[in-house]
Amino acid sequence: MSGPLADLTIIDCTMALAGPYGTALLADLGANVIKVEPPGGDGSRSLPPLPPDYANAGPDNTAGVDYGGYFASINRNKRSIVLDLKQAADRELLLSMSERADAMVENMRVGVMDRLGVGYEAVAARNPRIVYGAIRGFGDPRTGVSPYAEWPAYDIVAQSMGGHAHITGPAGGGGYPGGVSAGDIYPGTLLALGVVAAIHNARTTGTGQFFDVGMMDAMIAFSETVIVNYGYNGTELGARGQHHPSLMPFGIFPAKDGSVAIAAPGPGHWAALCEAMGTPQLIDDPRSRNTHLRKRNQAFVEGVITGWTSARTKQEIMQAIGGKVPCGPVNTASEIFADPHVAARNMITRFQLPGDNPEVAIAGTPLKFATTPGGFRRPPPRLGEHSEEILAEFGLSRCPDP
Inter-residue contact 27 to 21 (CB < 8 Å)? no
Q: Is 46 exposed, middle or buried (0-12, 13-18, 19+ CB in 10 A)?
A: middle
Percent of the chain past pLDDT 70, that is, above it, reads: 98
pLDDT at 237 exceeding the cut of 90: yes
> What is the signed CA dihedral for 187, 371, 389, 34, rounded to 10 degrees?
-10
pLDDT attached to residue 184: 98
Q: Which residue in the list 66, 90, 155, 184 is annotated as catalytic?
A: 184
Tell me the pLDDT tens digit for each residue of 70-129. Answer: 999 999 999 999 999 999 999 999 999 999 999 999 999 999 999 999 999 999 999 999
φ/ψ of 22, rounded to 5, equals: -65, -45
DSSP string computed for 225-287:
HHHHHHHHH-------TTB-SS-SSEEEEEETTEEEEEE--SHHHHHHHHHHHT-GGGGS-TT
pLDDT at 345 exceeding the cut of 80: yes
Is residue 184 annotated as part of the catalytic site, yes or no? yes
pLDDT attached to residue 58: 67
CA separation, residue 259 to residues 170, 214, 330, 348 (Å) = 15, 35, 5, 23
Mean pLDDT over all residues of the chain? 95
Which residue type, as a one-letter code, is found at position 178?
A: G
Q: How many helices (H) and strands (E) does the chain have?
A: 16, 11
The phi-psi region of residue 139 (left if phi > 0; otherwise alpha if psi is between -120 and 50; otherwise beta) is left
Which of 149, 321, 342, 146 lies closest to 249, judged by CA?
321
Tell me the pLDDT tens digit for each residue of 137-187. Answer: 999 999 999 999 999 999 999 999 999 999 999 988 889 999 999 999 999
The phi-psi region of residue 225 (left if phi > 0; otherwise alpha if psi is between -120 and 50; otherwise beta) is alpha
Q: What is the CATH number of domain 9-222+345-393?
A: 3.40.50.10540
Which residues of the chain are in CATH 3.30.1540.10 domains?
A: 250-334
* Ranges 19-28, 61-70, 101-110, 260-269: which has the least confidence: 61-70
Strands 9-12 and 78-82, by their bridges, are: unpaired
Q: Which fold has domain 250-334?
A: formyl-coa transferase, domain 3 (3.30.1540)
SS3 assignment, position 26: helix
Inter-residue contact 301 to 310 (CB < 8 Å)? no
pLDDT at 402 exceeding the cut of 70: no
Inter-residue contact 302 to 252 (CB < 8 Å)? no
What span, in angstroms and rounded, lies between the C-alpha atoms of 136 and 330?
A: 34
pLDDT attached to residue 88: 97
Q: pTM of this prediction?
A: 0.94
